[in-house]
Amino acid sequence: MNSLTDTYTLAGGVEIPCVGFGTWQTPDGDVAIESVRTAIEAGYRHIDTASIYKNETGVGEGVRQGLAAAGLAREDVFVTSKLWNTERGYDSALAAFDATRERLGLDYLDLYLIHWPAAAHQHENWRELNADTWRAFEKLHADGRVRAIGISNFKPSHLQALLENAKVAPMVNQVEFHPGFLQEETREACAKAGILLEAWSPLGQGKLLGDPTMVEVAKRHGATPAQVAIRWCLQHGALPLPKSATPERIVSNANVFGFELTGEDMAAIDALEIGRIGGDPDSVPF
Ligand code: A2P
């Protein structure tokens, strides 16, 4: 990967720009509009939001303003949103997609994800629930209303169950992935099924940036620890989704193509032990 316009190719052939701009915890309104516009002007071509972030209206407006400012067309930017947990099931997923699309003000989405799997700790019928939701996703995809479909926070057990009934396999699994949390089993299961792994919180929500190894590797490359974390994701073949609402950081986080981590750097970062910062899909209370 040499620039923000370089892409991974998803199963089915859709091209997805290799770094996405994250918007979790970005407030709706001016902050969402301005950070998304700034990101597109800075060269990001991939924006990630979700129904539960409650910022789709601002993100959609930011996309329109960014496209206008950068002289781009709708198809030049890749937009993802996600179905919230209260919207699972066939009919409610179809309705939720319409509401998301309307809030974003877009004719189509590039990628739509099931945000969290229904799981056994909350749903006896979790397999059926995920299968019903997925049928709605397959319909949205077949109807051309979304170019690619996928999942988020699915562990291998949730993925295997979904694949048993799926006509179209998920193209993406977006999970927590950052230095100190390697997700080996999930990465392996995704690779086997031809699923691209996207990394949420690639900066560990900012918490891993002071780690001495990150600081040292960054210094050696004349980079920031955030740039090293993003680069590390890319060199693992994952798609990082760094979030920032700070203009200088939005610009700086995109500047990850002028250096390459060595095998030694990668091994030193791989050896970090930080663990999960977000929720475990098998025990989240939502
Ligand atoms: P802010 O949005 O105020 O700039 P993640 O993407 O792993 O969830 O991390 C997002 C968090 O990391 C946010 O709190 C964001 O703060 C912070 N952050 C983003 N980029 C940088 C950076 N380059 N240096 C330090 N903190 C950053």
> pLDDT, tens digit, for every residue of 48-85?
999 999 999 999 999 999 999 999 999 999 999 999 99
Atom 26 of ligand 1, nearest CA residue: 206
DSSP symbol at 181:
B
Query: Cβ < 6 Å from ligand 1: which residues?
Result: 22, 201-206, 209, 224, 226, 242-246, 249, 252-253
Residue 281: band (very low, low, confident or very high) from pLDDT cuts 50, 70, 90? very high
pTM (two decimals)? 0.98
Are 89 and 125 contacting, i.e. CB atoms less than 8 angstroms apart?
no
> Pick the catalytic residue: 44, 53, 108, 112?
53
How far is the centre of ligand 1, averaged over its atoms, from the C-alpha of 120 (Å)?
33
How far is the centre of ligand 1, averaged over its atoms, from the C-alpha of 34 (Å)?
16
Write out pLDDT tens, residues 76-113: 999 999 999 999 999 999 999 999 999 999 999 999 99
| Domain range summary for the chain, segments of one domain joined by + | 15-270
Average pLDDT, the chain: 98
Catalytic residue flag (residue 53): yes
The two tokens of residue 53 are 């972030």
DSSP symbol at 243:
B
- Report d(CA 142, CA 97) in Å as an integer: 14
| Predicted local distance difference test score (pLDDT) of residue 278 | 96
> Which ligand 1 atom is the nearest neighbour of the CA of 243?
6
> Which ligand 1 atom is the nearest neighbour of the CA of 241?
6
Residue 230 CA to its chain's centroid (Å)? 13
Write out pLDDT tens, residues 151-200: 999 999 999 999 999 999 999 999 999 999 999 999 999 999 999 999 99
How far is the centre of ligand 1, averaged over its atoms, from the C-alpha of 35 (Å)?
12
Write out pLDDT tens, residues 4-41: 999 999 999 999 999 999 999 999 999 999 999 999 99
The CATH number of 15-270, from 3.20.20.100, 3.40.50.970, 3.40.50.720, 3.20.20.70, is 3.20.20.100
Atom 2 of ligand 1, nearest CA residue: 244
Out of 244, 250, 253, 277, give the residue to mutate to test ligand 1, the one with the largest number of ligand atoms within 8 Å of its CB: 244
- Report d(CA 32, CA 211) in Å as an integer: 29
Q: How many CB atoms lie within 10 A of CB 273?
A: 8
